[in-house]
Structure 1
Amino acid sequence: MLTPFGRLLLVQRVCEQNWSVPRAAESAGVSRMTVYKWLRRYQTEGMAGLDDRSSRPRSSPRQTSAREVAAVLQLRRRRRWGPHRI
């Protein structure tokens, strides 16, 4: 896994030092697709594109309803049931 500094180094090698993508990928221990991803983010967003991002989904259409969550929490508190029993 690369840090933002490692991502910047990767981008600089390809853009400024004219390294090939496969060579830069091998030197960083990542795939070529990963190099292309960081290049694309850097070109569209600049330095901010190299920062870590949350992996949390933007939406959860199949999320458990608030009513079901409340019922499960109630069973856990009142009856001291665990996930297998519920």
Structure 2
Amino acid sequence: MLGLIGTVIGIALAIGGFAEFLGGDSDDIAAVKRNLVGMTGGLAFAFLVTLLGLVTALVLMFFGSATQAGEESFREGLQR
């Protein structure tokens, strides 16, 4: 869930940078570069937070599966 929230925030930042790009002076190369850096920074944040969320979910799923397997083994031992 945190990965999704971070993605939405990052994309919102990138869209804000794109709005500045459209409203700025497109003849000034330095201004265009600054606005593109702002846009890509927001997208980089979005993708990084998504990656962190996915990795965290994967690790937690691994531990959850291991715990569930241990519980099932314990339950089977009790039934015997």
- What is the TM-score of this pair, normalised by structure 1? 0.28
Q: Which has the higher contact order (CA 8 A, sep 6+)?
A: 2
Q: Which structure's residues are more often helix, by fraction?
A: 2
- What is the TM-score of this pair, normalised by structure 2? 0.29
